[in-house]
Amino acid sequence: MGMTMTQKILAAHAGLESVCAGQLIEANLDMVLANDITGPVAIHEVERLNKKNVFDKDKIALVPDHFTPNKDIKSAEHCKCVREFAKKHDITNYFEIGEMGIEHALLPEKGLIVAGETCIGADSHTCTYGALGAFSTGVGSTDMGAGMMTGKAWFKVPSAIRFVLRGKPKKWVSGKDVILHIIGMIGVDGALYKSMEFVGDGIKNLTMDDRFTIANMAIEAGAKNGIFPVDELTIAYMKEHSRKNYTVYEADEDAEYDETYVIDLDQLEPTVAFPHLPENTKTVKEAGEVKIDQVVIGSCTNGRIDDLRAAAAVLKGRHVAEGMRCIIFPATQSIYLQAIEEGLIQTFILAGAVVSTPTCGPCLGGHMGILAAGERAVSTTNRNFVGRMGHVDSEIYLASPAVAAASAVLGKIAEPAELGL
């Protein structure tokens, strides 16, 4: 019986010739990741074990990004805990203020993850790295702590769903619209503990930033991971960002899939997820008159340079609506600098937006954009659960950067076409 991409990667890292769905394996890890919320929990557990060394100081990444810059004393103490642990164990990949970024944008940018590798992270959106042809998934803090000490993790091998992407997206339709459409189609538990494998000739029409966005939100369909095949664009990205050797795994022709869905990219429209689940999707045309108070553009889902370019293309020469709060978060310092050099930051400021240092703050209702009761936000983040970005009586509408920017200008959910773009 043939294997999927994910199954092949897991088999190789478990030292097995083959694996099958449902099989329990112990696999070697190429990267273990934690942030300032999940890291301290793992670190305290590790310290209880009195382990003197981590398994490999080069294969651990610690990225304080959720409540940084520190929003209060408690968050400062959490970051101090992570900082001191990184220093004690001489962790190579520790990134904080000045060279920081949102973890799931930062690790690929730094070349720490490449095709064929395994990565666990104590953050559910660790599945982002499947865009590079790697197996990456979120785990609990204790599992992450054990991974830091042993370099191994237990997995139940997932079955898979295949998504065949065909054609080319229309103007203003991005990876965010693709994954929102898919989640709306299969539901938030439609891929529960399964691998979402994206294939088809339409992939060549998706940028790497599109692919990162799609893989990032695989967890929002309940998936164990999302993964893309390695093509010329993937290889070019890895060569630009990494010196690591990569391994290309391809699914066998007789690999088994629980289901196969065909997505015609040229039929997709700008899409929004209404409160309070990512599956509650409508096209912008179907949205009706939904007035909003705030727009957030950024996060590990949509804070990369392509996202900022799309938002700037909509905002250039325009101004956000009166009373509108538009907050923009470049995902890393490098992206921030590139946005400055390209004039995007000037465009945002002239449009009446505010630009922040990289942080996860507003996405999880931590800081830098909390919503009050009755307020509505269009956000390029990945979740719109009750109370996710503030008060339980607030509402979050998930959308692409282009839709978010158009909505900021018009003060309601809108697409760029309504601005004549």
Residue of 170, 172, 105 whose CA lies nearest to 311: 172
Q: What are phi and psi of 14, to 5 degrees?
A: -95, 0
Which tokens go with 89?
A: 């164990």
Query: Which ranges of 139-174 does DSSP label H, i.e. alpha helix?
Result: 141-150
Whole-angstrom distance, CA of residue 326 vs CA of residue 273: 19
Determine the angle formed by the axes of helices 73-88 and 38-48, rounding to 10 degrees.
Answer: 50
- The pLDDT score that the predictor gives to residue 361 is 85
- The pLDDT score that the predictor gives to residue 97 is 75
Q: What are phi and psi of 361, to 5 degrees?
A: -35, -65
Q: What is the largest CA-CA distance in the chain?
A: 63
Whole-angstrom distance, CA of residue 308 vs CA of residue 329: 9
Consecutive 10-residue averages of pLDDT for the chain (421 residues): 95 96 97 93 84 89 90 92 93 87 95 97 95 97 92 96 97 97 96 97 97 97 97 97 94 95 97 96 94 96 97 97 95 96 98 93 87 96 92 96 98 95 89
Q: Is the dihedral of CA 25, 26, 27, 31 positive or negative?
A: positive
- pTM of this structure: 0.95
Which tokens go with 330?
A: 């470049």
Whole-angstrom distance, CA of residue 343 vs CA of residue 327: 17
Single-letter code of the amino acid located at 192: L
| Residue pair 280/386 in contact by the 8 Å Cβ criterion | no
- The pLDDT score that the predictor gives to residue 180 is 98
Domains and CATH numbers, the chain: 5-263 (3.30.499.10), 271-414 (3.30.499.10)
